[in-house]
Amino acid sequence: MKSIDEKISKLEKQLRDAKAEKELIESENPGTIEARVCKVMKLKGVMQKELAKELSVLPSAISHILSGRRKLSAERIGKAAWFLGVSCDYLILGKMDGGGK
C-alpha cells in the first residue's frame, strides 16, 4: 500500500497537470466551437474515430465538423464536452469558468 506522502504527491502532480492543461486550453483560444473541439482533441490525443463513435456519427462527419463544413448540434456539443473532459461553456463560449466577466 502506498504511503500517504506518495498519494499526496500523486494528487499534487495531477492538480499541476490539470492547471497546466486549463491554461493551455484557455490560451490562444480558437474562435469557433469546431476549432475548440479540434484543439482539445489534439491536447488529449483523441482520434477522430473515437469522437465519431461517442457522437454516433461516421468518422467522415467528424472531419467535416472539424473543418467547419458541418456544425455540431446542441446534443452533440454536450456529448463531445463530456467525452473530451471540458465544459459545454468552453466549447460554446471559449471560457472554462462559465463565460462570466
* pLDDT tens column, 22-60: 776 666 667 889 888 998 898 888 999 999 999 999 999
Span 90-96, average pLDDT:
83
Query: Is the pTM above the cut of 0.85?
Result: no
Q: Identify the structural domains of the chain with CATH numbers, from first to last.
A: 4-93 (1.10.260.40)
pLDDT for 2: 67
Check if the beta carbon of residue 62 is closer than 8 Å to that of residue 55: yes
Burial label for 4, CB within 10 Å (0-12, 13-18, 19+), is exposed
92: left (phi over 0), alpha (psi -120 to 50) or beta: alpha
What is the grid cell recorded at 5?
A: 506522502
Q: How much is the mean pLDDT over the chain?
A: 85
In terms of Cα–Cα distance, which of 93, 100, 86, 88 is closest to 22?
86
pLDDT band, residue 75 (cuts 50/70/90): very high
Q: Indicate whether 100 pLDDT > 50.
A: no
83 closest CA partner among 63, 40, 54, 42? 54
